[in-house]
Structure 1
Amino acid sequence: MSQQGDTPTGRDDDWWGQLYDDSAPDTGPAPAPDTLDDRFASAADTLKTDFPAPRAPEPAPRIPEPASPTPASEVFADADGDADGIERPGDTGVGYVGDGPPTYEAEPTVLPAADPDDLADLVPDTVLEGARYGGSTLRAASVRGDSARYRGEPRRDALLTARFGTGDDALVLVALATGARAAPGAHRAAAEACAWIGRAVGRSHRRLAEDIRAARRGDLKSGLHRLTDRSLGKLRAHAADLGLEPEEYAASLRCLLLPADPRCRTRVFFGVGTGGLFRLRSGEWQDIEPRVADTTGDPVVGFGSLPPQPPDADRLTMDLGITTPPSPYEPAPEPPRDPFRFRASVARPGDTLVLCSGGLAEPLRGEPELAEHLTRRWEKTGPPGLAAFLADIQVRAKGYADDRTAAAVWEA
């Protein structure tokens, strides 16, 4: 039985065409394609009509370049454009002072390497602390420097804030230390220096608080010298245990003692090594770091100095009238000695006392715009909040990329 006779026209092509489109006119039988290539060409033309070619992909959006650092005068400017130190909700980024942006980025880039078996050795990028006792407001922060953030190195600065005792008899200690540059374990040495001086002050805080209230300057100086000497001596001993030279496991140590008694306005500074002690009074910065010429304290044992010897100690040479032949060797140079620094001063209402590591002391001394910026910020608004204080000490200056650690005390 022939299937061709079952279709209305006798051709399958026309029958399917009529079923697909009833309105299509009857044009008669279509000529069959001559070759197989013609069949494929015809099918390709149909596909082009029913399925248009896809559009060319649009070019990828251009990623904008990161914004350049903003000058501090713009970051902290108010709506009128005046750098008055008032933060606005839209303020973002870390500003800078000086004639050009710093070399490194403002935000952290690379994390320090971690040891899975010694995670306690990790140092956070930033530490922030604050308190208020009587009429004094304390703000303290330690921030990893731009250079360390870029290279993935740990923060070499350490910060300790501690209160010993209760009530008006309490004594607040702020200790900051900086490990030796380019030395392995510098951050550990700084942390240990803070911990040991904290332990020594904490065990003697009652006597120290009494001496501060009674203004016994001589007793304070000799007592704090002994505590510092003992603490940094332990650091040298630990260096020997680690098989390191003393200068490879050393730290600058600077401390501030603040009585909690509101009737006592004496503030005591002591320490060894580099850094700064400043006072902002009546809109002017005063560098009150004790000068070496004014410091009568002996070099501190444990910070490059030799242990003291009693007058009758055994000597290697004795005058017996025997001629000593010249030695072919030059005597070894003595290790560098840093004197013990001490200062006790009476605070006035409106004063701001700033203790800082070299990372902030150097730009404060070398970049006048930074001091001017902090004056505008702190003289108008008084003690800032913790976040605002952190932003203040992070204002950068080109050429200064070390860790920054600072403690500031506002007096009401």
Structure 2
Amino acid sequence: MSQQGDRPATTDDWWGRLYDESARDTGPAGTPDDTIDDRFDSAADTLGGGDDLPSTRTYGHAVDAIAVDDDEDDAGDDEDEGVGPASRPPAWWESPGGRPVTRTPAPAPESAPAPAPEPSVPTPAPAAPAPLTPRPRAPWEPPPAAFDPPDPAADPTPPPAPPPAAPRDPRAADPRPPAPAPPPPPPAPAPAARISHVGDSPPTYEPEPTALPAADAEELDQLVADTVLDGARYGTYTLRAASLRGDSARYRGEPRRDALLTARFGAGPGALVLVAVATGARATEGAHLSAADACRWIGGAVGRSHSRLAEDIRAGRRGDLKSGLHRLTDRTYGKLRARAAELGRDPEEYTASLRCLLLSADPDCRTRVFFGVGGGGLFRLRDGAWQDLEPLVPEPSAIRGAPVVGYGSVPTGAGAATEQTPDGDRLTMDLEITKAPGPLVEEPVPPPPEPFRFRASVARPGDTLLLTSVGLAEPLRGVPALGDELAARWADGEPPGLATYLADVALRAKGYADDRTAVGVWEA
């Protein structure tokens, strides 16, 4: 054993000291009392010495080869004496070579492994015991015999949980009687069936399209759809517009002669909404083209002057609006006549009736302006009754122009020149002087054009303004049941949806099969 402070012995030092030739031989001691009992006692002392920690003490010269963790006093004593404790002779199993023998204390009796914690099994009733978890078998324990009775604790299958208790009725503890159930609501009235036609008998033609108009591969841009539907909301009004082919045109495969244009010019409160409805001349080729041209040209004219028109509408300048819109309408019909000349057709063939609405987008402006030329209808639904707002104009045959001075007419009335002086003398004498000839007229004078129509009205909340083409204006005036049905459908004052509005406009009446175009304006 090394002294305190020396370098601890290593494996190489122990090997060198063990086989060093200068080392003293550790043979058997020369003690005569070396019996079996002594050796047994020595072995017992060595193995059961009562030390808590294993010891690495050896006897003989090998004691210096292993470092032990004993106190300094014992280490110094063993080194000084050079022999093991009690200075007894080595036992029979101790070899002369001095191989170290390790003394290990007897192992403590192994305790059984702690059982696993019982799993937390929810139990509805507190009286039901929780199932036991079987103790796992240790590796050194033999398996149970086949003939041993089964151990209930070792059964891995937990017992079935008892059924949950029935929920307690909260009303059982309430001494008051239960409140009576509310009576069922009355059944909602069944919606009235929407009719598709008015009158005693249905119309002759089918209600849906059957034939398409003929198409030209080089002129596909001239095709028009069977139905056009549009809508918008500005200021205090809601706009609905629809145009559809009549029953006869659908049956014969003819194009729709009615044209519809909805356009907004500008933005914000100063914006102006234009709705134009045109109908081509009946029984003429290209009637749908002349109607489309009329809508397009009046739209362009209004769009270029929309700022001034919107200002006049908000300011209520009725005279300025009438004169200005009259000029724009005349220019549109002038273009139609020019277009007819380009096509080599008569102006009466390439023309159309034109009716328009101007609506301001300003919420504070409720002035609605109508203008146009030709047939159609302008109606207002107020307080459940229809009002015909079509401006009254004289018949074309009743229109007489004022005499033109200088062509043989005699001026009369206030301010007219008199033929004699205050004294009664005539200014001139009839000397049979030949009068200047009138204008040369080789063809009969054409009849005067249809008069220009204009109306500006102020809308009230709840009003419904309806602008129509001839195809819907005629049945509204000729079949009172049609107006009554539309008034009943629009009685609540709420604007219908686009699909509903289209179904309302398509309400048919026997004997009226022309195209239909209608523009509705619902006032909030």
TM-score (norm 1): 0.71
Q: How does 1:85-124 map to 2 (within 5 A)?
A: 95-124=196-225
Match of 1:56 in 2: none
Following the alignment from structure 2 to structure 1, what is the Cα–Cα distance between the partners of residues 395 and 322? Answer: 14
User: Closer, same or farther in 2 for the Cα pair 1:251/1:81, shift >3 Å?
Assistant: same
CA distance, structure 2, for counterparts of residue 255 and residue 235 of structure 1 = 17
2:434 matched to which residue of 1?
A: 321
Match for residue 190 of structure 2 among 68, 72, 80: 80
Q: Identify which of 372, 378, 381 aligns with 2:490.
A: 378
1:347 to 439, 455, 459: 459
Kindly indicate whether residue 236 of structure 2 is the aligned counterpart of residue 135 of structure 1: yes
* Structure 1 position 398 matched with structure 2 position 520: no
Following superposition of structure 1 onto structure 2, how do residues 14-93 of structure 1 map, counting pairs within 5 Å? 80=190, 82=192
Secondary structure in 2 aligned to 1:271?
A: strand
Correspondence for 2:182: none
2:342 is aligned, of 223, 241, 244, to: 241
Q: How far 1:126 sits from its partner (Å)?
A: 0.3
Aligned partner of 1:179 among 280, 283, 298: 280
**Counterpart in 2 of 1:357?**
469
Instruction: Quote the residue 1:273 is aligned against.
Output: 374
- For the aligned residue pairs, the C-alpha RMSD in angstroms reads 3.0
Q: How much has 1:336 moved relative to structure 2?
A: 4.8
The CA deviation string for residues 358-402 of structure 1, in whole angstroms up to 9 with x for no partner, is 000001111111111111111126100000000000000000000
**CA distance, structure 2, for counterparts of residue 256 and residue 165 of structure 1:** 16
CA positional deviation for 1:316: 12
Q: 1:130 to 1:246 in 2, by over 3 A?
A: same
Tell me the residue number matched to 2:264: 163
CA offsets 1:184-230 (integer angstroms, 9 cap, x no match): 11000000000000000000000000100110000000000000000
Q: Secondary structure at the match of 1:338?
A: coil
Structure 2 CA distance for partners of 1:166 and 1:81, relative to 1, 3 Å: closer
Counting only pairs closer than 5 Å after superposition, residues 290-305 of structure 1 correspond to structure 2 as: 290-293=391-394
Instruction: Please list every run of 5 or more consecutive structure 2 residues that lacks an aligned counterpart in the other structure.
Output: 1-187, 410-431
Contact 2:259–2:278 (8 Å) recurs in 1 = yes
CA distance change for structure 1 residues 320 and 385 in 2, over 3 Å: closer, same or farther?
farther
Structure 2 counterpart of 1:304: none
Indicate whether 1:217 and 2:318 are aligned. Answer: yes
Query: Quick one: structure 1 residues 188 and 309, their matched pair in 2 at CA, closer, same or farther if it must change by over 3 Å?
Result: farther
What is the rounded CA distance, in whole Å, between the counterparts of 1:207 and 1:188 in structure 2? 30
User: Whole-Å Cα distance in 2 between the matches of residues 128 and 174 of structure 1?
Assistant: 13
Partner residue, 2:291:
190
The Cα of 1:334 is off from its aligned counterpart by 2.6
- Identity between Structure 1 and Structure 2 (%): 69
Larger radius of gyration: 2
| Aligned residues of 2:359 and 2:368 also touching (Cα < 8 A) | yes
Q: Deviations over 1:262-302 (max 9, x none)?
A: 0000000000000000000000000000010499xx99xxx
- The normalised TM-score by structure 2 is 0.56
Where 1:105 maps in the other structure, the secondary structure is: coil
**Is the partner of 1:212 in helix, strand or coil?**
helix
Secondary structure in structure 2 of the residue aligned to 1:246? coil
Which residue of the partner structure matches residue 251 of structure 1?
352
Q: Answer 1 or 2: higher relative contact order, Cα 8 Å, separation at least 6.
A: 1
The alignment partner of 1:100 has SS state of: coil
Q: 1:214/1:116 Cα in 2 relative to 1: closer, same or farther (>3 Å)?
A: same
Other structure's SS at 2:275 match: strand
Match of 2:450 among 338, 350, 354: 338
SS at match of 1:182: coil
Query: Residues 181 and 169 (structure 1 numbering): CA distance in 2 closer, same or farther, change over 3 Å?
Result: same
Counterpart for residue 252 of structure 2: 151
After superposition, what is the alpha-carbon deviation per residue over 1:31-53, rounded to whole angstroms, capped at 9, x for unaligned? xxxxxxxxxxxxxxxxxxxxxxx
Shift of 1:310: 12
Distance 1:330 1:79 in 2: 73
Counterparts in 2 of 1:310 and 1:220: CA distance versus 1, 3 Å: farther
Bigger share in strand: 1
Q: CA deviation at 1:112?
A: 0.1
CA deviations over 1:15-38 (Å, ceiling 9, x no partner): xxxxxxxxxxxxxxxxxxxxxxxx
* Equivalent in the alignment of 2:105: none
Task: Give 1:332 shift.
Answer: 2.2
Q: Return closer, same or farther for 1:239/1:284 CA change in 2, 3 Å cut-off.
A: same
Provide the aligned length of Structure 1 versus Structure 2. 311
Q: What is the alpha-carbon distance in structure 2 between the residues aligned to residue 178 and residue 195 of structure 1?
A: 13
Q: Distance in 1 between matches of 2:238 and 2:273?
A: 12
CA 1:309/1:193 → structure 2, altered by over 3 Å: closer, same or farther? farther
Bigger helix fraction? 1
The alignment partner of 1:268 has SS state of strand
1:240-268 deviation line (CA, Å, top 9, x unaligned)? 11100011000000000000000000000
The one-letter code sitting in structure 2 at the alignment partner of 1:360 is: L
